[in-house]
Chain A
Amino acid sequence: DQQVKQNSPSLSVQEGRISILNCDYTNSMFDYFLWYKKYPAEGPTFLISISSIKDKNEDGRFTVFLNKSAKHLSLHIVPSQPGDSAVYFCAASDTGRRALTFGSGTRLQVQP
């Protein structure tokens, strides 16, 4: 049973528009959430994170929103750029910090 779910395997958006990537989790013990970006033939790289004490965190064009009651988080990229085309993984860790659980990833394609 996947505890972190990314239900959209792929997403295509036009350059300059907003990209919204979604992630749902089932484990109520998760309290720290991260997004990683992965290009082909490379390892994932950290993008942005959010603690459960917040509902929003911004870093430049990237904003992560957390809705604890719905156990849902989303990553907004605005404006989207062709260089943002990659696979995005949502990840979560619990209060014991014993495990980082990843979703299955969403492949984002930004069309020029």
Chain B
Amino acid sequence: NAGVTQTPKFRVLKTGQSMTLLCAQDMNHEYMYWYRQDPGMGLRLIHYSVGEGTTAKGEVPDGYNVSRLKKQNFLLGLESAAPSQTSVYFCASSPEGFGNTIYFGEGSWLTVV
């Protein structure tokens, strides 16, 4: 039971570099999300998708882009990484939107130096 899988789990970037975080889910869920977790801030929604080919902005979208070309995958891109983007990133999915429970991946630790 893979559930929600994120890659990579750890990454160190230099300021200005770009990278993509990949999220894959095998539960045939329609909704997928990217959150970031920072100390004292809880989890904040970056972007989400309500189905294949759709994306929408969350609470803290600036500096990130996303794509949902396939139902099972949700990619989070950082075009020009900044130290403020040092965080733990969690991908999640759910069958019917936020009212239902959502299932999280194990997290990706990103450090921007």
Contacts and interface: CB of A to CB of B under 8 A. Distances in A.
A45 to B, nearest CB: 7
A70 interface: no
A100 B44 contact: no
Interface in B23-41: 33, 35, 40-41
Given A42-B106, A43-B107, A89 B43 contact: yes
Residue from B44, B58, B102 having most chain A Cβ neighbours under 10 A: B102
Interface in A26-68: 32, 34, 36, 41-46, 49
8 contacts: A2-B42, A41-B107, A42-B106, A43-B104, A44-B43, A49-B101, A100-B45, A104-B40
Interface of A: 2, 4, 6, 9, 32, 34, 36, 41-46, 49, 89, 93, 97-105
